[in-house]
Amino acid sequence: MDENTKTKITLPLLITKNYVLFPGRKDERIDVGRDFSIKAVNASRDNNSSLLLIVSQKDSKVEVPTNDDIYTVGTLCRIVSYSDMKTYVRIRVHGGQRVKLNNVQFDPQGFYTAESETLESIVSDEKNIVSLTKKIITEIQDLPGLINSLPRTTQTELFNKGIDPSELCDMLAPYLTTTDAKRQEILETLDVAKRLEIVLSIIEESKQEAKIDAAIEKRVSENVEKHQKDYILQEKLRAIKEELGNGEDGIEDSDAILKKLEENPYPEHVKAKVKAELKRYEMMPQASLEASLSMSYIQTLLDVPWYQKTEDNDEIENVRKILDEDHHGLTKVKQRIIEYLAVKKMTGNLKAPILCFYGPPGCGKTSLGKSIARALGRKFFKASLGGISDEAEIRGHRRTYVGSMPGRIIQGMRRVQVVNPVFLLDEIDKLASSYKGDPASAMLEVLDPEQNFAFNDNYLEEPYDLSNVLFICTANYLDNIPAPLRDRLELIEVNSYTEIEKLEIAKNFLYKKQVEANGLKPEQVSFTDEAYMHIIRHYTMEAGVRELERKIAGIIRKVVVDLLSYKTLKHIDVTPEVVEKYLGVPLFENSKKEKSEQVGVVTGLAYTQFGGDILPIEVTYFPGKGGLVLTGKLGDVMKESAAIALDYVRANADKYHIDSKLFADNDIHIHVPEGAVPKDGPSAGVAITTAIISCLTNKPVDNNVAMTGEVTLRGRALPIGGLREKSLAALRSGIKTIIVPKENKKDITELPKEVTKGLNIVLMESVDDAVKVAIKQ
C-alpha cells in the first residue's frame, strides 16, 4: 500500500515512550518491549505492506495508555527490518507522512489499532519561508555540536544541495536539544512557516545556552589555572624562605607547630584538634580564604593559655599591706581575699571564688580588682560588659562566619597568657538582652564553679578550664542582675564613703596621685584638712571620690600655673579660701536641719545614689472635702505610704486626741520640698505619719530629731535599707537623734564610729515610739 495515499485506512498502532518519529526519517531503529506493542509490530508484518502507525504517549510513566494518554497526530511508516532480541524486538522503519489518528481501539488480538488520515503541509507565505530557511541554516553553523550530530548525508543535503523547507524541520527536529512535547508540537504544526519559526526559536535558545556554558567553562578554567599558579608560586616561595632560613611573617609553618605541640604540655584533646586542623590546612590552596581562616584558628588554639600559670603571693601580711596601701577602708573585701589565700595555703588547692562588689559609682570597685591582682601577684584583665547585647560577645562566633573570633572571656585569657589571672567583669548589671541572645544567660556557665572547668566557646570548639580564674564582678544595682546569675555570685557590698573616709582618701591617695601626675613635689603644695572638707561638702555630691579627685586635680593644675607665673612663689598652702578662689562659688550646700521646732514639719532620712540626705516633710490642712493633696514629685510607692499614714491617723484619731470632723471638713496637703527631684520608696512612712499627727494636734516636732521607717495600717514600723548613708546624712546636717525601726538593730553595729558617737539612736517598734520622742507634749 502506498504511504502517500490519502485514503483512510486502519492499521496497527505502535505507541512509543519519549520518542517522536518524523516523516522522511530513514532506517530509524526502535526497540519494542511492551507486549501489546510487539503484537502490533507482528500484525503489521503479517500484512504484505508492513505499514505501521507510530504515535508518542504524553506521559512515559503510564504502562497501559488510554486514548487520553496519547497524542492525536503521528507518523505512517513501513517496517524494513525486524530482529527478535528474546526479551524485546528491534525494528527499523522508514518514516512516511503525518497522519491524524481517529478511532483508536484495542484489537481483540491484543494490540492497538487506529484509523489514519493523511495530513498535508500548508505553504502560506513563500517569501517568509525562504527567509526563515536561510536563517536556520545560518544559525546552526554556530552550533558545532548540532552539526556534528547530523549524519554526513544530511549535512551534504543541508549545506550543498539545498533542501525543501518542510523537510528541513523534520530533518533537524530529532537532533535539536529540546523536549519531546516540543518535538510533538513541530510534528503537529502543518503550516510550514510556523513550523520553521518553532525550530528557529529552539536553535536560538540552544545558542544562548551554549554561550552561557562557554562563559562558565572559561571562568572555571581561569580559576583552576589561577589556583594552580598560586599553589606553584606559594610552594616556590616557601622553598625559597626555607633555603634562606626565614619563616612566613607571623605564621608558623606546619613543622614548627607540630614541634611546639610536642615540646609543651598541651592537653591531649587540644593536640588532636590542632593536628586534625593542620592536616586540613595542608590540603588547601595556600592563598585561599579558607586556608587563612584555618591557620588563624590554629594560632588561636596555640595562643590560648592551657598550662601556663603564675604563683600566688602566699604571704598574708604582705597581701594585707598591699591592699591597705591601695585602698582605705573596705574591710569586708580585704578580709575575704585574706580568707581565700589562707584556705588555699592550708589546703594547697582551692577553686577561686566568684566575687561581686556592688555599691554606688566611684567607690573603688574597679580599682580594687587591680589592687587584688597586685597583692596576689597575678596578671589582671578587665572586660567591660556595659551595653553588651550579643551573646556571641561572651561565647564567641562560630567559625562558619567570616570574621569570626572568640568571645570576651577567651580573648582575655589569650591576652594575659596564664590560666589563673584576676578577671574583672565590670558593670555586670549593665548587660542587655536582644534578638541576638541574652549575654547574662551565657555568663551563667562562666560564673558557675561547677561548670566553668569546661567552658565552651563557639569559636574555640574545645572545652576550656576557667576554674583557676579569680573572677570579680562589679555592679551598681543588684536588681538589674538576673536572679540565676546573682545566685552564683558571692556578694560583697562596697558602701559609700563617709566624710571622714573621704578625707583620709584625699590626704593619703588622691593628693599624692595628683601631685605626681602634674609634675609637682609635696613641698610645693599642701592642703589643710579644712580645705579637703570644704571641697567634700560644697563642691561634690557623690557616694565615691571621683568628683573629689577631679576637684583636687583642678586645684593642683591652677597651683602649677601660679608657681610658673610667679617665680618668687615656692609653696602654696590650700585653705578653704584658696579652694573658693580656684573653684569658684560653692556648688552645693549641705541640707540643714530646721532652725526651730515647727508644727507639721518632720525631718525624714533618704537614700540616694550620692549617699544619704535629710528629707523635710511638711503637712498642713485647710477647709475642703476630706481630700489628700500630695506634691513634691512623689513616686507611686511614696504616695501609697502617705495614704497609709493618713488612714492610720484617721483610724486612731481618738488615741491622739484629734477631732474626727477635721478629716471630713478639711483637705490635708503633704509636701516634700525640692519638687523637681523625684522621690520614691516606703521608708518615709513613719515620718509622714508623725507630721500628720503634729499638724492635726498643733504640737511642734523637735528639730533635732530625724526618723526613717516604713509604716503599716496598724502603725508598726518596718525595717529599711541604707541606714549607714542615712545616719551619715543626719550627722552631717546637725541632727542629734535618729529614730529607726527596731528590726534595724543588727545594722547599727556596722555603722561608722563617728556616727555611733555623734548620734543618739532610738529604736522603735511602732509610730507611738516615734511620736513620744519627736513631738513635744
- How many other β-carbons are positioned within 10 Å of the β-carbon of residue 185? 18
Helix (H, G, I), strand (E, B), or coil: what is residue 397?
Answer: coil
Q: Which of 37, 166, 683, 694 is catalytic?
A: 683
- Ramachandran bin of 748, using left for φ above 0, alpha for ψ from -120 to 50, beta for the remaining angles: alpha
Contact partners, residue 502, CB within 8 Å, separation at least 6: 532, 536, 545, 548
Distances (CA, A) of 382 to 266, 368, 444, 495, 713: 26, 12, 18, 22, 49
Please give the backbone phi and psi of residue 715, each rounded to the nearest 5 degrees, phi first: 85, 10
Determine the Cα–Cα distance for residues 166 and 187; give it in Å rounded to an integer: 11
d(CA 374, CA 368): 10
Unique residue bearing C-alpha cell 573616709 = 501
254-263 vs 268-282: helix axis angle to the nearest 10?
170
Respond yes or no: is residue 683 known to be catalytic: yes
Q: Which residues contact 366 (CB under 8 A, 6 or more apart)?
A: 382, 424, 426, 474
The sheet that has 470-475: what strands, in order across it?
380-384, 422-426, 470-475, 354-358, 490-493
Q: Vertex 359, ends 682 and 555: CA angle to 5°?
A: 115
Q: Which three cell numbers stand for residue 573?
A: 598652702
Separation CA 256–CA 133 (nearest Å): 72
Is the CB of residue 422 less than 8 Å from the CB of residue 380? Answer: yes
Residue 751 and residue 723 in contact, taking contact as beta carbons nearer than 8 Å: yes
Cβ burial, residue 606 (10 Å; 0-12/13-18/19+): buried
596 assigned to active site: no
Where is 185: in which H helix or E strand?
Answer: helix 180-188
By the 10 Å C-beta count (0-12 exposed, 13-18 middle, 19+ buried), 291 is classed as middle
Instruction: Tell me whether strands 628-631 and 666-671 are parallel, antiparallel or unpaired.
Output: parallel
Angle between helices 767-774 and 685-697 (to 10 degrees): 50
Beta strand 73-84 with 89-107 is antiparallel
423 C-beta neighbours (distance < 10 Å), count: 26
Pairing of strands 490-493, 354-358: parallel
5-42 burial: b if 16+ Cβ within 10 Å, else e: eeeebebbbbbbbeebbbbebeebebebebebbbbbbb
Give the 3-state secondary structure of 190-234.
Answer: CEHHHHHHHHHHHHHHHHHHHHHHHHHHHHHHHHHHHHHHHHHHH
- C-alpha cell of residue 566: 610667679
Spatial separation of the C-alpha atoms in residues 487 and 473, rounded to whole Å: 13
Rg over CA atoms, the chain:
49
Q: List Cα–Cα distances, 246 to 11, 249, 252, 261, 263, in angstroms.
A: 88, 9, 10, 20, 21
Which among 609, 614, 558, 556 is positioned nearest to 589, based on CA atoms? 614
Residue 336, number of CB atoms within 10 A of its CB: 16
Q: Which of 55, 38, 35 is nearest to 115 (CA)?
A: 55
From the list 50, 726, 733, 766, the catalytic residue is 726
Helices (H), 264-407: 268-282, 289-303, 316-326, 331-347, 365-376, 392-395
Query: CA-CA distance, 470 to 419, in Å (whole number)?
Result: 10
Q: How many of the other CB atoms lie within 10 Å of CB of 331?
A: 7
Q: Which three cell numbers stand for residue 359?
A: 555599691
User: Which residues are known catalytic residues?
Assistant: 683, 726
